[in-house]
Structure 1
Amino acid sequence: MSGADQANRYLEGNYAPLAEEVTATGLPVTGELPCDLNGRYLRIGPNPRGDADPATHHWFTGAGLVHGIRLRDGEAEWYRSRFVTSERGSPNTNVVSHAGRILTLVEAGSPPVQICPDLAPMAVWDCEGALSRGFTAHPKTDPATGDMHAMTYNPRFGSVRYVVIGADGTARHSADIEAADGPMVHDMALTETRVVVLDLPVTVAAAKRRARAGEPVSNLPYTWDDRHTPRLGVLPVGGTADQVRWVETPLCFVFHVLNAFDDADGSLTMDVIRYDEMFARDVLGPGDAEPTLVRWTVNPALGTVNEEAISEYRVEFPRIDRALTGRPHRYGWFAGFGAHGLMITDDVERSRTEGFGAGPLVKVDTRTGETTTHDHGPGRVTMEPAFVPRPDVAGEDDGWILSVVHDAGVNRAELVVLDAADITAAPVARVHLPRRVPFGFHGNWIADDEIGAG
């Protein structure tokens, strides 16, 4: 069977790429948008341009396509989609703000690409060369200092580079940490005093061995590596390689960290979403195992990791109030898996409407394990949520949850606003978008005061 004749779920349904950029103004709204939401909700994902070989196409690859919804004074002014373009790549994984800039991000080699508030002009931003070797999909910003911490890597180098970018956008620190086999380091953890690098068994070395053996591979050069010891590297904020304390973890892979914080006894707590394996059988996407929300208590002095499940609900794309990054938290918001929070397996018809990590909106109380959901209705599934606090925030969940919802019935998307404290209630507002938004990766609310935009 030729590659063109093979099915690839990551090229079908709401995974399928979009061919054109779109602009629409004066978006219709059901409900009432809070007048305090003044800014942009930006979301990004991979969008292959041209022919993609179904036999080898991996969901994580393809040019970045940014989707933006401008909200101001209770109105939804516009929706725009723009391909990320630069002379050094097209980041497709995350879009964040830092030091007055909007940055599109990807891991493993490409520096950020800065985009303008109207999503128009774009240019590489490598922090005066500090990020020329590449960046990360998930930097962590300390809410007290404004410093952005990142674990960056590039398959051409045998190390992970810990980088700190100051609140003013200048490079403040850099340290190389050896990491054998070329591991995929999608996320990291930050506490008030420490940073954590995840060195887990999905590696370039394993992909090379697999290719040499004639086994199926994708155009993403990473696969499960049962020879690679899973471990965490814990070092002080602003630390160097000689200060790293390595701690072996349970055998697993982690894409995303909900949050981490220091404990009084010298240990640290990390809430993570773990998989028993990744890219072992499904080499085209993350379909090997179900995600589990767990709490790791890491004791670097003893070299131990204690794991306990927080919720039995299957969730991904975890979010907290960003003001609590590195500090103790209680609540997390997530995209649930499927109609009942379950992993989508090989059911092609379901995957066309639901997709990886798509289902109800989920809120978890990490102290009690209490889990609540918001079902968006038949054929309607949420993507990654973002928490936006009210201006005079009175509690950890005093704010709104924004997420893009795909409606398979009409094959279009909405930006849905929920009350973060009571996600079971009817939506506060629904912004109707002119097209579908493909299942992608990450999105963020970027308020006007973060970028000084008019």
Structure 2
Amino acid sequence: MSGNFGPVTDEVSVDDLPVTGTLPPELNGRYLRIGPNPTSPDETGPGHHWFVCRGMVHSVRLREGRAEWYRNRFVRGDAPEDVPNTNVLAQGGRLLALVGGGGAPVCVAPDLDRMSTWDADGALRTGFTAHPKIDPVTGEMHSVNYLIKPGAESLRYLVLDAAGKPTHAAELPVPGVPMVHDMAMTATRVVVLDLPVTLSVDAASRLAAGVPESGDALPMRWNEEHPSRVGVLPRGGTAEQLSWFDAPRCYVFHVLNAYDAPDGSIVMDVVRYDTVFRDVFRGPADGLPALARWTVPADRGAVSEQIISDYGLEWPRINEAWSGRAHRYGWFGGTGPHSLRLSDDVDRDLGGSFEPGPLVKVDTTTGEVLTHHFGTGRVTQEPAFVARPGAEAEDDGWILSVVYDGNTDRSELVVLDAADVTAPPVARVHLPRRVPFGFHGNWIADDEIGA
């Protein structure tokens, strides 16, 4: 609730943003970010958790080398509870704000001024996920969805076609109500993460009784009794086709990518934490994450793990054209005590291990780590890769991310060369306000939403 983790209180629209450098004229579309923006006493009270608050979406419109406008709006669905805060992406010609754990998506107009709940003809009546996987060739969207509810003993695997029409659904029995924030998908298979963070009956009971303690707004806790495993099933498969493999004892919020290896195994790169929500309950700050490569065997055995880099990083992104196929590069936001200490209050509240920092590029083949430090008091979070038109190389394009400047308490949209992130920025769009630290965002080209 302090520093740039704190909310902004109003909605603004500002045209003709100043730019330092030269915006690539090929960037015609919108860069959007979303995150929690707590303003009510219920959201900011004793049980406050960074993940559980009404969402606010921020958008910067770029066209033909100009930054036409910045706008921010609270997310407003058709019901008071429809306020997703975790991801914003395009699929089926729609711009969707997403959240996991049982919340429905909200369809957002390109100008942000009209919003409505979207349930895909009833298929999303019990909620969706913040991290569906979209096939870069077919546009088909796959999701593994969990529900934060006592007694919810299964996950729902759902497939939507390129137009957003449901084509497949399967219930996957999984006990204990684990927090399934992300999934993995290869060209042929889907990977389910069943890891030891589960619904806490005590925290849920306190929340229901109106006497929450720290972090109870998200009543998920590290569970020493819950197994750590991954499940593999064919794309479009059912519970009968699901095979389970023991996995390293840890938690994974985000998967960089996964692909089928020639020997039938699955290779997946993940950002892994030794524990979360065991020691610190208001955010994922038990310790620093690391980038790991997991190999899921073709038929039997346990998942093997190789640490690619122990540099503290999160919010993994790839060139999405490589989704489901063998990749080499990943781009991340750095995090941890090596990054900027925003203030003593924030450092104490988050356990000193979840402070945003530099932009990070990792070569997963060699383990090389390159960073772009934006200057004293300036930090970033999740990057977005945008391919250069006609590009063939995996890293031929630009990286877009929001940079917070603690010296001015303002933010910028910064464009970097994805192939050489150590070079000076290509362009910096100066925003009229700060954009609070949030979760995810994407570059949405005009042709993705017809605007």
TM-score by length of 2: 0.94
1:291 pairs with one of 289, 292, 295: 289
Deviations 1:55-77 (A, max 9, x none): 32000011110000000000000
Cα distance in 1, alignment partners of residues 349 and 176 from structure 2: 35
1:111 pairs with one of 104, 119, 125: 104
Cα distance in 2, alignment partners of residues 351 and 443 from structure 1: 27
C-alpha change, 1:364 and 1:77, in structure 2 (3 Å) is same
User: Contact between 1:210 and 1:216, CA under 8 Å: does it hold in 2?
Assistant: no
Q: 1:349, CA displacement in angstroms?
A: 5.9
| Code of the aligned partner of 1:129 | G
Cα distance in 2, alignment partners of residues 93 and 450 from structure 1: 20
Matched, 1:189 2:184: yes
Q: How many residues align?
A: 442
Q: How does 1:15-414 map to 2 (within 5 A)?
A: 15-51=5-41, 52-88=43-79, 89-156=82-149, 157-205=152-200, 208=203, 217-338=215-336, 340=338, 347-348=344-345, 356-414=354-412
Cα distance in 2, alignment partners of residues 370 and 13 from structure 1: 32
SS at 2:107 equivalent: strand
| Code of the aligned partner of 2:78 | E
SS at 1:421 equivalent: coil
User: Contact between 2:288 and 2:353, CA under 8 Å: does it hold in 1?
Assistant: no
Deviations 1:83-128 (A, max 9, x none): 0001331000000000100000000111110000001110011100
Q: 1:348, CA displacement in angstroms?
A: 2.9
Q: 1:341, CA displacement in angstroms?
A: 5.4
C-alpha change, 1:85 and 1:372, in structure 2 (3 Å) is same
| Code of the aligned partner of 1:307 | E
User: Contact between 2:206 and 2:216, CA under 8 Å: does it hold in 1?
Assistant: no
Cα distance in 1, alignment partners of residues 189 and 394 from structure 2: 23
User: Contact between 1:211 and 1:217, CA under 8 Å: does it hold in 2?
Assistant: no
SS at 1:277 equivalent: coil
Give the equivalent residue in structure 1 for 2:429. Answer: 431
Give the equivalent residue in structure 2 for 1:415. Answer: 413
User: Contact between 2:126 and 2:147, CA under 8 Å: does it hold in 1?
Assistant: yes
Cα distance in 1, alignment partners of residues 253 and 343 from structure 2: 21
| Code of the aligned partner of 2:63 | R
Cα distance in 1, alignment partners of residues 215 and 206 from structure 2: 6
Cα distance in 2, alignment partners of residues 394 and 129 from structure 1: 40
User: Contact between 1:190 and 1:259, CA under 8 Å: does it hold in 2?
Assistant: yes
User: Contact between 1:234 and 1:300, CA under 8 Å: does it hold in 2?
Assistant: no
Cα distance in 2, alignment partners of residues 272 and 373 from structure 1: 19
User: Contact between 1:272 and 1:295, CA under 8 Å: does it hold in 2?
Assistant: yes
SS at 2:303 equivalent: strand
Deviations 1:315-372 (A, max 9, x none): 1000000111110000000000147359x79943658999835100000000000010
SS at 1:77 equivalent: strand
SS at 1:135 equivalent: coil
Give the equivalent residue in structure 2 for 1:13. Answer: 3
User: Contact between 1:338 and 1:360, CA under 8 Å: does it hold in 2?
Assistant: no
Give the equivalent residue in structure 2 for 1:3. Answer: none
SS at 1:155 equivalent: coil
Cα distance in 2, alignment partners of residues 425 and 216 from structure 1: 42
| Code of the aligned partner of 2:35 | G
Give the equivalent residue in structure 2 for 1:7. Answer: none
TM-score by length of 1: 0.93
User: Contact between 1:206 and 1:224, CA under 8 Å: does it hold in 2?
Assistant: no
